[in-house]
Structure 1
Amino acid sequence: MSTPDTPSGAPTPPTVPYGTPDAPRIAVRGAAHLEVDPDLARIAITVQARGRDRRATLDDLTRRNATVLDLVKSCGDAVERLETGAFTITPEPARHGRGERVRTHHGTVHLIAELTDFTALGELTTRLADLDLTRVDGPWWTLRPDSPAHRQARQQAVREAVQRAREYAEALGTTLTALIELADTGTDAPAPRPPSGRTRSMSFAAAAEDAGPGPLDLEPQRQHVHAEVDARFTMAPPVL
């Protein structure tokens, strides 16, 4: 098979994926693993109402939903996001008898709240759980997508790759000459870990009017951030 020519007429040198004796290549992988405090805590709130009369059930659901929204919003800047998800009102048919008799109506509203102040979190979850027909799930701890921890992990992985390559080159009595390729193999999502570190409890101004249950003492879960890179370098020919 003939070798294709370059535009100048000179033959194209063959591609050597593993380097040449004059420019040996070295391939390494760098990895980083950080354990950091979470940025956000997410809770899911389910508000319910039930009754024989459809309009009365809807009115109860509307009132309870407004109470929950007011309570969450009373946290002020501690709440970064508050969203209403699914809303349902479902008739439950009577178990016996014919026709379209309705035994009761079930109404549900789902909400999601994200908080940045973990001190306020225990107070809010306790007061929400103390409301009638209101369910609270969570918290789920997480980092922001733009958290500096992600950048720190990527940079640390690159530094480890360079250090590894240098150590291999030093073992051969030579040095690195150039970076050929740097590939990001991806960053894993933070994995849940056993909770560490305690948070203080703080009372809102409205709590003075209602002596409810004491606030939960919640402990944020440390977040794990992973990063990996593949790197290829050339090095000066070693004397073997």
Structure 2
Amino acid sequence: MQPAPESPRVVVLGEAVAEVLPDAADLVVTVQVHDRRRERALERLTGRQLELTALLEAHRAALGTVSTDAVAAFPEAGEGGRINGSVATTTTRARIADVGAAGELAVAVAALSDVSVHGPHWRVSREHPVHQQVRTAAVQDAIGRARAYATALGGRLTGLVEVRDVGGRGGRMAMAAFAVPGGAPALELQPAPQEVTGQVEVTFTMSVPDPEVFAR
């Protein structure tokens, strides 16, 4: 007995895009000090980092996680390449859960001595319902595309073989680095809408195409 012929398959990529306001942001803070003596540079760095930690703790209600990404200490070369001191630096990343407080926090941190700030980097959190919305819309897009292909071949969809998550992404917008000497002015930031995409690869079976399609 001859095995039954395998049903034709249609493989499509479904896509969906949505724009939403960000519900989270990242603030990257770099503390950098210079001193002729390495030990003194590290002592000053410790003091500045404690000031930063205290400030962030005072804004704990608006923050998510806070982590130190990097610590570095290295010689500082002057004219002619001669070593004339040491540089000590730390980089701290603060996740902001309350985007409405991003401007106030960024300015407060930038007002600290020996500190530079980069951000806020707006983002859409993983928990935001838009991610599920674009995934669902991507599947619907895949069904529509596959149905159109099957119809163009004189057939119809008959079943589902596989659904593969290709992934998605949430857009980000960065604010330039800045430092604020002296008194910190008020700064109101307007978060830009973020683009969130969803993609899914879906394989369907379809009925045997109409032979007349290929005879045209």
TM bin (shorter chain): 0.7 to 0.9
User: Take 1:142 and 1:132, find their aligned partners in 2: how far apart are those partners?
Assistant: 28
Match of 1:77 among 61, 64, 72: 61
Report which of the two has the higher share of helix. Answer: 2
User: Take 1:14 and 1:131, find their aligned partners in 2: how far apart are those partners?
Assistant: 75
TM-score (norm 1): 0.70
Match of 1:117 among 92, 95, 98: 98
User: Residue 64 of structure 1 corresponds to which residue in structure 2?
Assistant: 48
Q: Considering only aligned residues, what root-mean-square deviation do their CA atoms show, in Å?
A: 3.4
**Contact kept? 1:143, 1:223, Cα under 8 Å:** yes
Give the superposition deviation at 1:52.
2.1
User: Residue 230 of structure 1 corresponds to which residue in structure 2?
Assistant: 202
User: Take 1:157 and 1:140, find their aligned partners in 2: how far apart are those partners?
Assistant: 27
User: Residue 221 of structure 1 corresponds to which residue in structure 2?
Assistant: 192
Give the superposition deviation at 1:62.
1.1
1:13-162 equivalences in 2 (<5 Å): 13=3, 15-16=5-6, 18=8, 28-92=12-76, 103-162=84-143
Give the superposition deviation at 1:82.
0.5
Amino acid at match of 2:194: Q
CA gap 1:15/1:144 in 2 versus in 1, 3 angstroms: farther
- Structure 2: runs of 5+ lacking an equivalent: 176-181
CA gap 1:16/1:105 in 2 versus in 1, 3 angstroms: same
- Structure 1: runs of 5+ lacking an equivalent: 1-10, 19-24, 196-210
CA gap 1:85/1:180 in 2 versus in 1, 3 angstroms: closer
Give the superposition deviation at 1:26.
5.3
**Contact kept? 2:62, 2:96, Cα under 8 Å:** yes
**Contact kept? 2:76, 2:85, Cα under 8 Å:** yes
Give the superposition deviation at 1:34.
1.2
**Contact kept? 2:72, 2:90, Cα under 8 Å:** yes
Task: Tell me the SS of whatever aligns to 1:215.
Answer: coil
1:187-213 deviations in Å (ceiling 9; x for gaps):
232234699xxxxxxxxxxxxxxx932
TM-score (norm 2): 0.76
Q: Which has the larger radius of gyration?
A: 1
User: Take 1:146 and 1:61, find their aligned partners in 2: how far apart are those partners?
Assistant: 36
Which has the higher mean CA deviation after the structures are superposed, 30-39 or 71-80? Answer: 30-39
Task: Tell me the SS of whatever aligns to 2:108.
Answer: helix
**Contact kept? 1:52, 1:102, Cα under 8 Å:** no
Which has the higher mean CA deviation after the structures are superposed, 32-41 or 47-56? Answer: 47-56
Identity %: 31
Aligned residues: 205
1:164-194 deviations in Å (ceiling 9; x for gaps):
4556677899865x32323335123223469
